[in-house]
């Protein structure tokens, strides 16, 4: 009974944190663009007149009002309206390069590519890193452990974009390019569930995914290895050895399981870094995912799109943090009693 109560309190605390962080993100979103130089009005005027059209201030204001910007209105009124429309999913229309298209549509088009590319390679990096780290920490001082730390300290300090450029210059440019370095699939193909199309998608994904894998895996390996080393010194591990439990079971069931917990919490926290990597990697490879869209929205000061993307990214990180929290909560009895 008591434990349940602690559990409920814990859940409420985490949910409160969730809502508060989301609100902070939305508020930052609202105020940063409005505090800074560079007005959307001016940007829109330039973009429209570039097309050859002469725009009067009145016309401009009508267009902007349709896009949800009203410079005459009280900023707090705007803020309240903004919060309401964010929560209800009315994220407005783009005022950037794809003028007038609903932001949700734009994001919906780009989301699957990022989820497929970044999601898969991040999870793969996490799983691989945890496994390699477990083995390296288990065979302390062994062959693997001799190579692992120095190599992966180096890879974890490499800039994402540099690895991307290196891979491009190795595999995609030169006399016989092996892999494509541009876009998400061959543009001459029509999307569909054909073997040719799927193969093209995979081929276009290898280099960006490889970049994320190379730069992300090192951190997991190092933390997991070090957690392993610390856990292996615990008394219960010695006890397990004394009882004659097979090594493999000690490695995964006794030491690995406990060493894994901090790594799991770290996974959620590091997602921010993964996202930063995504923007750079997608930019280098012109991969039409959310990161590339974010970059483009910045270049064209597309407020609605920027806001929606930032909110979405924050939401994604928060959900992951929450999931990892609950996973730790389930896996670790100690977390339940702490409250």
Partner 1 sequence: MSAIVAGTAAPTPSVTRRPRGGLLRAILRNRKAMVGAALLLLFILLAAFPQLFTPGLHGDPRAIGDVPLAKPSGEHWLGTTGLGQDVYAELIYSTRESLVIAVVAGLGATILSVIIGVSAAYLGGFADDGLSMLTDIFLVLPTFPLIIVLATYAGKGNLTVIIIVLILTGWSYGARQMRAQALSLRNRDFLESARVRGERSSYIIVVEVLPTMISLIVANFLGAALYSVLTAAGLQFLGLGDPNSLSWGTMLYWAQNQGALVNGLPAWALSPGLAVALLGVSFALLNYAFDEISNPALRPVRRRRAKS
Q: Give the footprint of partner 1 on residues 100-159 (CB under 8 A).
A: 140-141, 145-146, 149-150, 153-154, 156-159
DSSP classification of residue 172: I
Q: Which is nearer to partner 1, 49 or 276 (CB)?
A: 276
Q: Which is nearer to partner 1, 141 or 333 (CB)?
A: 141
Q: Which helix (H) or strand (E) holds 301?
A: none
Cβ–Cβ < 8 Å for 63, 44:
yes
- Structure tokens given for 99: 């003028």
Count how many residues are written for the chain: 339
Q: Give the footprint of partner 1 on residues 239-258 (CB under 8 A).
A: none
165 binds partner 1 (CB under 8 A): yes
200: left (phi over 0), alpha (psi -120 to 50) or beta: alpha
Provide the 10 A C-beta neighbour count for residue 192.
8
Q: Which is nearer to partner 1, 131 or 158 (CB)?
A: 158
Residues 6+ apart with CB under 8 A from 221: 129, 130, 132, 133, 136, 148, 152
Cβ–Cβ < 8 Å for 263, 227:
yes
Of the candidates 276, 286, 323, 337, which one interacts with partner 1 according to CB under 8 A?
A: 276
233 binds partner 1 (CB under 8 A): yes
71 binds partner 1 (CB under 8 A): no
CB of 20 to partner 1, least distance (A): 7
- Using CB under 8 A as the binding criterion, the count of chain residues that bind partner 1 stands at 65
Cα separation, 205 vs 117, in Å, equals 7
52 binds partner 1 (CB under 8 A): no
167 binds partner 1 (CB under 8 A): no
Cα separation, 39 vs 57, in Å, equals 14
For tokens 């090192």, the residue is 218
Contact residues toward partner 1 (CB under 8 A) are 17, 20-21, 24-25, 28, 32-33, 35-38, 140-141, 145-146, 149-150, 153-154, 156-162, 165-166, 168-169, 173, 222-223, 226-227, 229-230, 232-233, 262, 266, 269, 271-273, 275-276, 279-280, 283-284, 294-295, 298-299, 301, 306, 309-310, 313-314, 317-318, 321
């Amino acid at each position: 009974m008591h434990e349940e109560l602690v559990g409920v309190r814990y859940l409420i605390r985490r949910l409160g944190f969730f809502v508060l962080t989301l609100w902070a993100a939305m508020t930052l979103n609202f105020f940063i663009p409005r505090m800074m130089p560079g007005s959307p009005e001016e940007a829109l005027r330039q973009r429209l007149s570039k097309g050859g059209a002469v725009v009067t201030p009145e016309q401009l204001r009508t267009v902007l009002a349709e896009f949800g910007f009203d410079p005459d209105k009280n900023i707090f009124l705007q803020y309240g309206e903004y919060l309401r429309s964010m929560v209800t999913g009315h994220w407005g229309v783009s005022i950037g390069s794809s003028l007038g298209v609903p932001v949700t549509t734009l994001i919906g088009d780009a989301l699957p590519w990022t989820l497929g590319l970044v999601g898969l390679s991040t999870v793969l990096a996490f799983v691989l890193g945890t496994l390699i780290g477990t083995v390296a920490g288990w065979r302390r001082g062994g062959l693997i452990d001799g190579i692992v730390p120095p190599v992966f300290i180096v890879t974890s300090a490499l800039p994402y974009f540099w690895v991307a450029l290196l891979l491009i210059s190795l595999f995609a440019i030169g006399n016989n390019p092996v892999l494509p370095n541009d876009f998400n699939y061959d543009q001459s193909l029509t999307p569909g569930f054909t073997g040719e199309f799927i193969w093209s998608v995979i081929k276009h994904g290898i280099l960006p995914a490889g970049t994320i894998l190379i730069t992300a895996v090192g951190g997991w390996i190092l933390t997991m290895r070090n957690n392993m080393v610390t856990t292996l010194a615990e008394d219960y591990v010695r006890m397990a050895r004394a009882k004659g439990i097979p090594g493999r079971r000690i490695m995964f069931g006794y030491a690995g399981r406990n060493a894994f917990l901090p790594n799991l919490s770290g996974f959620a926290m590091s997602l921010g870094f993964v996202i930063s990597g995504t923007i750079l990697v997608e930019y280098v490879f012109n991969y039409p995912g959310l990161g590339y869209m974010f970059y483009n929205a910045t270049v064209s000061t597309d407020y609605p799109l920027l806001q929606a993307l930032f909110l979405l990214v924050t939401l994604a990180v928060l959900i992951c943090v929450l999931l990892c929290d609950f996973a730790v909560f389930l896996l670790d009895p100690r977390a339940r009693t702490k409250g």
